[in-house]
Structure 1
């Protein structure tokens, strides 16, 4: 086991790496912002203001706070990760175009060419699914053939998949209100919707690391878990007609859902990404594709940062979930199966990070642990719905 006294020298580097996830010197950063950066912020704030003015009748006080709080978060993301700006603009543009084509009539989804084949929620999510699968294929072509163009095509397909997926979710949100004001809700309430969300968040996290580390070699591995999620999504849609928009159950009719679920799935996506990077680590460690994958130190760093980010968001989501439970069911914790397994997931990654920071956990042991964590997380995410019953459920299988 790679837990030696010499590894203690890495603690300071780990602490600095973890701190780098947070806020840097904002004063120097603000001074570096260009006119284009500020125009982006103004455009985003203007769009939020337009949404608030147009749809305030459907929003309560808490919804308004969530919308307002989202603006600085997205502005910061756009400032620190420039490619996300074009993505945000594309999602907004396609969503607004779809809304204008609908003209308040849901039946146009079957009669209008662009809605039927591209911009309705179901069509956009189908495009997302196909593009993710093709992206996975091209990433593998690029890795196996040492072809930069293969990885480049895979990356572009993944970006377009994320664009179509988020457009599909935004349009689905609008479609739910076209069905009825009492039906309308943010599309993160059942198993179908959260599988879409999981795929998108995992892909976005990967694309960030792809640019940050200037390598597309990990795409072949990370995209496998996304393609698996897409495969489940397609089966679930066909077998259970799960793509249909359903009214919210009473317990989910809460503004807490808008912040608890996204935070939870940023955690899930980060944990899934770390596991697939762990697979890449184990493959390279055994000499397979060794000359095509990043250095073991890079793989180890990506795995660590992914778990650190995921753990932070999962911790926040767990706290928010407890507050939501107190409002919905009268108690912060009831040892419901979903709550119990969420605690197991949290303890698993808390132990991983503790061993990393205190004992210098690295190498194959860390990679195997991250991969085992994906099994635990998958059961908490999906297995609870399959084998256990309780208050929490995103949908029955």
Structure 2
């Protein structure tokens, strides 16, 4: 199916009247389960939340319901992760030492074990995607896709269990696991993988798996090095600036941006290879590659804009000012301006082809420095994320 047909299908679907009449009983049951879970959590843990956290919890139900209606795999992904995470929590029985004493926790479902298995699955997925591309084998790509899904399930399970483990250390230590480089590298890998899997299913772009999985494997490789060399997997109390409900929305929005920008750069790599005569018969059409690159950057830019605004509001609460030209803030602005210019040139001047692809690829270098380089080489108010 060519890109024009995809666009026609999308436009017809979005413009069709009676959207809610298209929903099935399974869709409504999924939404009801999410709402029930949110209300249960609110009733049981509401006394420990401030008003903002309660609003986030309640709004999460319709948000994830809409996501599940739009992308069906979410409807089995969320219950499966919940089942595995709750099973692990039951095995702990309130004792953190159980992670080293009970078989299923020690070798599969403790946060460190699940994240290690996630890493293995991502590496194997990269290998099978490469085999599929090199051999023109549909089986290789299919196995790679399944391994990527397995990595996503295990990664989210590890994150949920890590959240619980932080509270076993102490109620004053407990926090959502997106507060340091170890945790956000996991978040980056998971978000990038999920966006890729969405495009893979929607546009039939399994041939892009080797490209996207390379950047995910690089992130996982750094994560493993960082874990071994810095003992980064150890859960630490939050620094005062991070003890805020803002973190729960600012950081995920930020990393949706980072993940989709990385995805766009790897699609751009595939575009450049094909446009120069490499892998011509193995990659999707240039038109489809260009469209996926554009959609990834558009989605990333929207979330990165939201994250930047939220970051300014958080800074005003934490440090007394919306903007302080801190190195992290400055480089976030550079990233934003880079992709704002890319989108402006595309919409106003028709930016396409190799120029757009090279720009998206260079954008990954800018984004990587904002994500990691600032922590390595610069210091400022965000120095709590230093290597």
Instruction: Name the SS for the 1:161 alignment partner.
Output: helix
Shift of 1:27: 5.0
Q: Distance in 1 between matches of 2:249 and 2:372?
A: 20
1:282 to 272, 276, 299: 272
1:85 maps to 75
1:205 matched to 2:195: yes
The equivalent residue for 1:331 is 321
> Which whole-Å deviations, capped at 9, do the CAs of 1:208-253 have from their partners, x for residues lacking one?
0000102200001000000000000000000000000000000000
Q: What's the counterpart of residue 238 of structure 2?
A: 248
Contact kept in structure 2, 1:190 and 1:393, CA below 8 Å: no
Question: Partners in 2 of 1:26 and 1:227 — Cα distance?
Answer: 40
- The Cα of 1:310 is off from its aligned counterpart by 0.3
Partner in structure 1 of residue 168 of structure 2: 178
Q: 2:114 aligns with which of 115, 119, 124?
A: 124
Find out whether 1:110 has 2:86 as its counterpart.
no
Aligned to 1:151: 141
| 1:36 aligned partner | 26
Alignment correspondent of 1:168 = 158
SS at match of 2:14: coil
Q: Distance in 1 between matches of 2:384 and 2:346?
A: 33
Contact 1:191 1:394 in 2 (8 A): no
Aligned partner (choices 46, 50, 53) of residue 56 of structure 1: 46
Q: CA deviation at 1:55?
A: 2.7
Q: Specify the alignment match of 1:340 in structure 2.
A: 330
| Deviation readout 1:292-351 (Å, 9 max, x if unpaired) | 100000000000000000000000000000000000000000000000000000000000
Range that drifts further, 248-257 or 51-60: 51-60
CA 1:42–1:72: 2 relative to 1, 3 Å:
same
Q: Shift of the alpha carbon at 1:25?
A: 4.5
1:190 and 2:180 equivalent?
yes
Select between 293-302 and 208-217 the one with higher mean Cα deviation.
208-217
- Distance in 1 between the 2:250 and 2:24 partners? 34
Structure 1 position 50, deviation (Å): 2.4
User: With structure 1 as the length reference, what TM-score do the two structures score?
Assistant: 0.93
SS of alignment partner, residue 206 of structure 2: coil
3-state DSSP of counterpart to 2:172: coil
Show the counterpart of 2:55.
Answer: 65
Shift of 1:64: 1.2
Instruction: Tell me the residue number matched to 2:205.
Output: 215
| Paired position in structure 1 for 2:260 | 270
Q: Counterparts of 1:394 and 1:274 in 2: how far apart (Å)?
A: 29
Equivalents in 1 of 2:208, 2:384: separation in Å? Answer: 30
Closer/same/farther in 2, CA of residues 396 and 29 from structure 1, 3 Å limit: same
Q: Aligned partners of 1:129, 1:40: CA distance in 2, in Å?
A: 29
Match of 1:7 in 2: none
Partner-residue secondary structure (3-state), 1:218: helix
Aligned to 1:4: none
- State whether residues 120 and 168 of structure 1, in contact with CA within 8 Å, keep that contact through their aligned partners in structure 2: yes
- Give unmatched runs, 5+ long, in structure 2: none
Deviation of 1:51 (Å): 2.4
Is 1:387 the counterpart of 2:377 in the alignment? yes
RMSD: 1.6
User: Paired residues, what number?
Assistant: 381
1:99 lines up with 2:89 in the alignment: yes
Does the CA contact (< 8 Å) of 1:109 and 1:115 recur in 2? yes
Partner SS for 1:293? coil
Query: Which ranges of 4 or more aligned residues in structure 1 deviate by more than 6 Å?
Result: none
| Cα drift, residue 158 of structure 1 | 0.3
Retained in 2: the 8 A contact 1:271–1:307?
yes
**TM-score (norm: length of structure 2):** 0.96
